[in-house]
Amino acid sequence: MSAVPLEAAVRADVSRERDVDGPAPLAPAARLFPALSAVYRAQLSRARVARIPLLFVATFQSVGIMILMRGVVDGGGEARAVVAGSSVLVVAFVALNLLAQYFGQLRADGGLDHYATLPVPPAAVVLGAAAAYASFTVPGTVVTAIVGCGLFGLPLTHLWVLIAVIPLAGAALAGLGAALGLLAPRPELATLLGQMGMSAALLLGVLPADRMPTVLQFARDLLPSTYGVEAFARTFGPDPDWAVVALDLAVCAGVGVASLAVATWAYRRAAVR
């Protein structure tokens, strides 16, 4: 009489249980905020190697633009627009340009397949990457604002408003950059779209609005970062209208929510293809 090995008997019992109960249930999906925190830390660690060159290039570019504009702008409202626009341009360089390149390359290399296999909500992937890239803009934006105030003789009293301007403008631009990278069929096109977006932020955000043609003024109102620039520029006045500043920031926040929602939809669309 032959004896059945213990392991074979256990396998047979497990097989019978699976036949009765059906396939084993999957692990529950991670909640949004823990998943967002995990993606943010992972992206922050990944981008840390390129932090110093990234900050230097973004800050040097904005400071150089202000030095060039110093020769044609003396002061007043035009100087406020130049300093505010150049400061937010640091955010545009990272959150719009580099994020579009990152998601375009991620889609081309199959990196989205990796995220699709994880029990992570799509919004956590988009928001985590956007927050990580936007975090690197803080030192450069602050340095640009301080240098600009020194160049144009503007007060440093209300620079604390950058605490609101950086994340809100960063969210709006990061959502746009992520959407461009995810919707572009090729990484080269994603890079081109990101650079065009940053060029639009340079042209429409740094130049004084009253010197633009009507068509460009309309296009400036459609740029997500415009309202962050306007809010920051208003704080340089002798008696800022804080209600209008809050309204500009609220509009910037609304645009940020909308652009991140579009980026989340684009991520879902790209991940299932």
Read off the pLDDT of residues 148-205 as tens digits, 9 standing for 90 and up. Answer: 999 999 999 899 999 999 988 888 888 888 899 888 888 889 889 888 888 888 888 8
Distance between CA 264 and CA 123 in Å, rounded?
5
Task: Confirm if 39 and 124 have CB atoms less than 8 A apart.
Answer: yes
Q: How many residues does the chain have?
A: 273
CA 66 to chain centre: 23
Nearest residue to 178 (alpha-carbon basis) of 258, 80, 78, 75: 258
CB atoms under 10 Å from CB of 2, counted, come to: 4
Burial class (CB in 10 A: 0-12, 13-18, 19+), 35: buried
Distance between CA 164 and CA 192 in Å, rounded?
29
- 229 in helix, strand or coil? helix
Nearest residue to 80 (alpha-carbon basis) of 247, 205, 166, 248: 205
Distance between CA 179 and CA 171 in Å, rounded?
12
**pLDDT on residue 28:** 56
- pLDDT tens, position by position, for the chain (273 residues)? 444 444 444 344 445 544 445 454 545 556 767 777 888 887 777 666 655 677 778 888 889 999 988 878 877 788 898 999 999 999 888 888 888 888 888 888 877 777 777 777 777 888 888 888 778 788 889 999 999 999 999 999 899 999 999 988 888 888 888 899 888 888 889 889 888 888 888 888 888 777 788 888 888 888 888 899 999 999 998 888 999 999 999 998 998 889 888 988 888 887 766
Burial class (CB in 10 A: 0-12, 13-18, 19+), 169: buried
The token pair at 185 is: 């069929």
Residues 6+ apart with CB under 8 A from 253: 168, 171
**E-only strand ranges, the chain:** none
